């Protein structure tokens, strides 16, 4: 008995949908595992009993750091994206430096002016 082209097309579409659903399930499983690994890795920041502002800034910097663990966002940018004041971000950076989580270095422009700070994630 020969199948109609309509039913064959329908079966093909169904197989494709099923395949895509399985692919989405695998992606979500991988993301869940990555998230759990990330939380376990960042456990030390929570154990340090730092203020919540310092934890938020640390996670922000860590998220934006390159493979070498450095990044250089402006303090105003950090404040704007985290919905914190500039002075709160400065206090958080100070807390993180005192507790050995980051190291900050001033960067300079060619004309001698200041540029954004370079942040290095230590732990």
pLDDT tens digit sequence for 24-83:
666 555 555 455 445 545 788 888 889 999 999 999 999 999 999 999 999 999 999 999
pLDDT for 17 beyond 80: no
Enumerate the β-bridge partners of residue 104: 119
Average pLDDT over residues 105-119: 94
Of 4 and 52, the structure prediction assigns the larger pLDDT to 52
Q: Tell me the three state secondary structure of residue 3.
A: coil
Task: Map out the domains of the chain as residue ranges.
Answer: 8-41, 51-121
> What is the pLDDT at residue 37?
46
> What is the pLDDT at residue 13?
72
Taking the model in full, what pTM does it have? Answer: 0.66
**Whole-number Å distance between alpha carbons of 72 and 21:** 40
- Look up the CATH number of domain 51-121: 1.10.10.10
> What is the pLDDT at residue 62?
94
The residue whose two tokens read 């750091």 is 65
Backbone angles phi, psi at 118, to 5 degrees: -100, 120
CB 45 within 8 A of CB 58: yes
């Amino acid at each position: 008995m020969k199948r109609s082209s309509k039913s064959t097309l329908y079966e093909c579409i169904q197989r494709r949908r099923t395949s895509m659903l399985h692919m989405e399930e695998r992606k979500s499983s991988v993301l869940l595992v990555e998230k759990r690994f990330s939380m376990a890795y960042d456990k030390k920041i929570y154990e340090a009993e730092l203020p919540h502002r310092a934890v938020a800034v640390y996670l922000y910097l860590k998220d934006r750091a390159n493979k070498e663990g450095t990044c250089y966002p402006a303090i105003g940018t950090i404040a704007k994206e985290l919905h914190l004041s500039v002075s709160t971000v400065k206090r958080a950076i100070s807390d993180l430096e005192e507790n050995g989580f980051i190291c900050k270095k001033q960067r300079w422009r060619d004309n001698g002016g200041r540029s954004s700070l370079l942040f290095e994630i230590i732990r």
